Amino acid sequence: MPRQPRLDIPGVPQHVVQRGNDRQPCFFREEDYLRYLGELTELALRLKCAVHAYVLMTNHVHLLLTPSGVGQVSRLMQALGRRYVRYVNDRYHRSGTLWEGRYKPCLVDRDSYLLHGYRYIELNPVRARMVDDPAGYRWSSHGANALGQHDALVTPHANFLALDPDPCRRQATYRELVRQAISEDDLIAIRLHLQRQHALGSDRFRAAIEAQLGRRAGPARIGRPAKRQAESAL
């Protein structure tokens, strides 16, 4: 049975996750993280994909980005994957695949889930008990979004900028948002929609996506998933 095309609409944010093969590490040294970020920065600029939030974990990557055109995210992830795998295989004298199949994306409702996506991504190292505070993790967008540090990769989304017109107050507001725990229901919703590559947002958002694409963008019954349905944490 052929694969369904990914849900992909210009101007609609996507939360993307890509894992190392068999959940094995895909970053081994500091230089690897820097290489990945350098390649991602170049490709995001070339392919006109605005990256709003990211985290590079030891064995997987989360990105929150908005493409300017159809297929731009797919082209970015394919080119990035090829470049980075070639680099890793050459550097560590290995061969074969590095990633676990295709990346998984889900469209994100900017009005109801966009800032949840920011927080979910940047809090990954805290949930993994690698740090107590996201500010202590170097390989994420938290330094740019919460602390105002320069990061050439990060393009703030309009909804993030709307937190406050003053950068210092905006960063303080965002830090306070990050300190507020994401609810268990929202964690489950994000994980499940990523796993199934469904559109994440309100019923109205889902219906608009389905009307535009002419196909289902989620389960037949639209609603927040029950806790027992959640897949393993992403």
HSE value, Cβ hemisphere, 13 Å, CA-based, for 10 = 7
Query: Any idea of the CA torsion for 24, 30, 32, 34, to the nearest 10 degrees?
Result: 130
Q: How far apart are CA 126 and CA 136, in angstroms?
A: 9
Question: Which sequence spans correspond to the domains of the chain?
Answer: 14-213
Architecture of domain 14-213: 2-Layer Sandwich (3.30)
Distance separating alpha carbons of residues 139 and 154, to the nearest angstrom: 12
Structure tokens at 146: 């919460």
- Distance between CA atoms of residues 92 and 60, nearest Å: 18
The residue whose two tokens read 């970015």 is 76
Q: What is the largest CA-CA distance in the chain?
A: 52
Helix (H, G, I), strand (E, B) or coil at 156: coil
Alpha-carbon gap, residue 233 to 195, rounded angstroms: 9
- In this structure, the chain runs to a length of 234
pTM for the full model?
Answer: 0.90
pLDDT tens, the chain, 234 aa long: 456 678 889 999 999 999 999 889 999 999 999 999 999 999 999 999 999 999 999 999 999 999 999 999 999 999 999 999 999 999 999 988 899 888 999 999 999 899 999 999 999 999 999 999 999 999 999 999 999 999 999 999 999 999 999 999 999 999 999 998 788 989 999 999 999 898 998 889 888 888 888 878 877 554 454 444 444 445
Structure tokens belonging to residue 120: 């979910």
